[in-house]
Amino acid sequence: MSDAAKAEYWKANIRLVIGCLVVWFVVSYGCGILFARELNAIRLGGYQLGFWFAQQGSIYTFVVLIFFYAWRMNQLDRKFNVHEE
């Protein structure tokens, strides 16, 4: 693998990590803490939405995020031909 390809691969990884961490931050710190009070005006069944994000929604999102990251990284590995056998 050339140095340029390595740098490009790493850049793509960083972009993906930053994107995922923005979502990570928004669902937990944003929806679950900073804006929970405002979101609580909205209802999800018996859940106030901010409360739901803090005790349920953020956790579900974390799970999805990790699998999304793993899936995208596998694609990236194949694209740069650095996947393992």
Partner 1 sequence: MSLQLMTYLVVGATFALYIVIAIKSRAATTGEFYVAGKGVPPVLNGMATGADWMSAASFISMAGLIAFKGYDASVYLMGWTGGYCLLAMLLAPYLRKYGKFTVPEFIGDRYYSHTARVVAVICLITASLTYVIGQMKGIGVAFSRFLEVDFSVGLVAGMVIVFIYAVLGGMKGVTYTQIAQYCVLIFAYTVPAVFISLQLTGHALPQIGLGSTMADGSNMYLLDKLDKVLVDLGFSAYTVQKGTTINMFLLTLSLMIGTAGLPHVIIRFFTVPTVKDARSSVGWALVFIAILYTTAPAVGAMARLNLMNTIQIGPVGSPTGNIKISDVPSWFTNWEKTGLLKHKDKNGDGRIQYYGPSKAFAAKAASFGWKGNEMVKVDRDIMVLANPEIAKLPNWVIALVAAGGIAAALSTAAGLLLAISSSISHDLLKGIFAPGISDKAELMASRIAMAGSILVAGYLGLNPPGFAAQVVALAFGLAASSIFPALMMGIFSKRANNAGAVLGMLAGLGSTLVYIFWYKGWFFIKGTEMLANTPDNWLFGISPEAFGAVGALINFVVAMIVSNMTAPPPEHIQHLVEDIRVPGTGRR
Interface with partner 1 (CB under 8 A): 1, 6, 9-10, 13, 17, 20-21, 24, 28-29, 32-34, 36-37, 40, 44-48, 51-52, 54-56, 58-60, 62-63, 65-67, 69-70, 73-74, 77, 80-84
In the complex, minimum distance from the CB of residue 76 to partner 1, in angstroms, rounded to a whole number: 10
In the complex, minimum distance from the CB of residue 5 to partner 1, in angstroms, rounded to a whole number: 9
Decide if 76 contacts 12 (C-beta within 8 A).
Answer: yes
Decide if 79 contacts 16 (C-beta within 8 A).
Answer: no
Residue 71 C-alpha from the chain's centroid: 12
Helices (H), 1-85: 3-25, 36-39, 49-52, 58-79
In the complex, minimum distance from the CB of residue 54 to partner 1, in angstroms, rounded to a whole number: 4
